[in-house]
Amino acid sequence: MLDIPQLLSRVKLFRKKAAVRCAMCSMGGVGSTALARHIGSISDKTIREHAYTPDVYDDEVDIRLGYMFGNPYDAVLSLFRRNYQDMHAKAMNVNSPTPARSLRGMTLEEYLERGVDEFNIERQFDNWVSNLSPKHPTILIKYESLGSTIDKVLEFFQCEEPFELKRRNSSWVDQPSRIIEGLQLIYGDVAAKIDAMPPLKILLPESAHTRTLNAVTS
């Protein structure tokens, strides 16, 4: 039998779920896991958590998608700091035309020396943000601007429970020059694309443009 604290915890978890079916995806290293669990994302801890394209959700019905992106330098540093690089390379390439290269035991310095984006971050980013006529309503979320957009994000997913934001404790600008140069060499182009993105953008299926969902963007 559950005690009172356990019951309250379960009630709180239930209240956090969004009123609609949803899936949150990301490029990794951008703090998306907490928000995904907050809204009850069906992709949490599945092979579609870091889907390389929204097309992998084409078999779903009545679902809303979220894609969170952010500074790729900080994202890659976060992955290596937590020793997630090998696992994440697999996750970012699953179901894609490219097999994942093993990054097991590889250091950040070794990775940067190779000069290749083994996570295919730019490909994933392009696939999600250029999908202007999506099958499902899709919200594009810039991590660095989440503090000013979180209310609209929750509204999109019809989640009434407030979400507590957590900030990064580190920044790529504090890294040694050789690390910064290596990151910029591999991820400079996609970093510029991400910087140019608005804090929040909602993409709707053509049949949904007249629905009240438009109000979220106003």
For residue 25, give the DSSP letter. E
Tokens 């330098």 correspond to what residue?
73
CA distance 34 to 20: 18
- The number of C-alpha atoms within 13 Å of 168 and in the hemisphere containing its C-beta is 21
Residue 48 has pLDDT above 80, yes or no: yes
**CATH architecture, domain defined by 19-217:** 3-Layer(aba) Sandwich (3.40)
Helix axes 85-93, 72-81, angle to 10 degrees: 130
Per-domain boundaries in the chain: 19-217
Phi-psi region of 100 (alpha: psi -120 to 50; beta: other; left: phi over 0): beta
pLDDT digits (tens, 9 = 90+) for 85-127: 999 999 999 999 999 999 999 999 999 999 999 999 999 999 9
pLDDT digits (tens, 9 = 90+) for 192-208: 999 999 999 999 998 65
Determine the average pLDDT of the residues in 168-187. 94
